Amino acid sequence: MMAGLHILKHTFNLSDEALCARWIENSYFQYLCGEEFFRHDLPFDRSSMTRWRSRMGEERIVALLQESLSIAVKSGAMKSQYTRQVIVDTTVQPKNVMFPTDAKLIHRARERLVRLAKRAGLDLRQTYVRVGKLALIKHQRYAHAKQFKRASKALRRLKTYLGRTVRDISRQIAGDAELDALFKWSLYQAFTVLEQRQRQRVRKIYSLHAHEVECIGKGKAHAPYEFGVKVSVATTLKRSNGGQFALHAKALPGNPYDGHTLAAIIPDMEKTIGNEISRVLADAGFRGHNAPESHKFRVFTAGQKRRVTPAIKRQMRRRSAVEPVIGHIKNERRMGRNYLAHTQGGAINAILAAAGYNFSLLLRWLKQFLWLLIAAFLNRPKQLAA
């Protein structure tokens, strides 16, 4: 049942709560999930979906994407030989976090420390609740008005408030092992946010509740930097009868260089589709790739001159076919903003989004096939009376 629920969730772009509400009133949803009789109540709890995703993990969730491709081949929507030539590209799966600025992170770190200290029973010298909020508002207004000296002064004030809170808590928990363990992570985050600087080499914190968020720049004019995780998406070179199916999707933590992802992407893709890949087309960002030795000369990038035959040159014109696939997966299948927690949540959401996109194409393909059957039935020649 849970597998069917997640297929419906990403096929129709629904949240867990919206899916549960629609499942009660939609008999088609219930039938797809294995119910034989119409039910007026949920046989599961909404949180069961979260626990099921955690139990399954990334490796088992891939079975839903494999099932969508298997149905596409069996129904005639896609030919199996189309999976041998693929187009690969990367995109960013943004996390559901606020846009990180130094002022917001410092203010939020102080709020979390004060809240935790209150629960632990510590009596702080000062919480800076009102003056901290006022300093944040002033910083935002000064920065918007391009009064950067005044904005810098408000930012220094916020840093002072956070530093005083950190030192006050550190003095009170000194020598207490239980309190030290309770505050260890929050104090580490506060100290890191307080000390991190622009263009530093070490890893930065961009969200306090989602520590895995990374800053990724894709060169877009409207969004120079996005905050989430890089995702690799692959589709077929030739367009199938049922549409442009997504063959593979995988989250790539650590913000690796695009070309250095092929060493892991190609074997994982072949494992998913069950075929050996004979040709991979990619954009110029994959130059200097580290594809496996068996596929080293099967990868072609935009602008490449060597080993490019006229047939491959014609195929390279289809390389941009992966872009609308990425657009549909992000805008309509819940990869445009990831609401699932932790690194595992980002990996699972990318796979489910690709599977939901494939199932939406299959629904459209089966709908067209049904209309053809109805048209053929209505236009059949009438039997002449004897």
pLDDT, residue 223, reads: 87
Instruction: With beta carbons less than 8 A apart as the criterion, state whether 352 and 61 touch.
Output: yes
> Scanning the structure block, which residue is given the tokens 């004979």?
278
For residues 33-41, average pLDDT: 90
Q: How far apart are CA 349 and CA 208, in angstroms?
A: 21
Q: Is the pLDDT of residue 386 over 80?
A: no
Per residue in 132-150, pLDDT (tens digit) is 999 999 999 999 999 999 9
Q: How confident is the model at residue 379 (pLDDT cuts 50, 70, 90)?
A: confident
Torsional sign, CA 276, 278, 281, 287? positive
Single-letter amino acid, residue 167 = R
pLDDT of residue 145: 96
Burial 126-139 (b: 16+ CB within 10 A, else e): ebbeeebeebbebb
Parallel/antiparallel/unpaired status of strands 279-282 and 299-301: parallel
pLDDT at 17 over 70: yes
Supply the pLDDT for residue 266.
95
Q: What percent of the chain has pLDDT over 70?
A: 99
* pLDDT band at residue 383 using 50, 70 and 90 as cut-offs: low
DSSP 303-345: T--TT--HHHHHHHTTGGGHHHHHHHHHHHSS-SSB-S-HHHH
Q: Distance between CA atoms of 288 and 301, rounded to whole angstroms?
A: 10
Give the pLDDT mean for 293-317.
93
Tell me the CB-side half-sphere exposure of residue 367, using CA atoms within 13 A: 6
Q: What is the pLDDT of residue 23?
A: 93
3-class DSSP state of 378: helix
Q: Give the CB-side neighbour count of residue 55, counting CA atoms within 13 A.
A: 8
Given a cut of 90, whether residue 110 has pLDDT beyond it is yes
Q: Identify the CA nearest to 169 among candidates 128, 226, 138.
A: 128
Q: State yes or no: pLDDT of 384 exceeds 60.
A: no
Indicate if the pLDDT at residue 170 is higher than 70. Answer: yes
Across the chain, mean pLDDT equals 93
Whether 201 has a pLDDT exceeding 90, the answer reads no
Q: pLDDT tens, 52-100? A: 999 999 999 999 999 999 999 999 999 999 999 999 999 999 999 999 9
Residue 283 CB contacts under 8 Å (≥ 6 apart), including other chains = 89, 258, 301, 302, 319
Is it the case that residue 280 has pLDDT exceeding 80? yes
Residue 381 has pLDDT above 90, yes or no: no
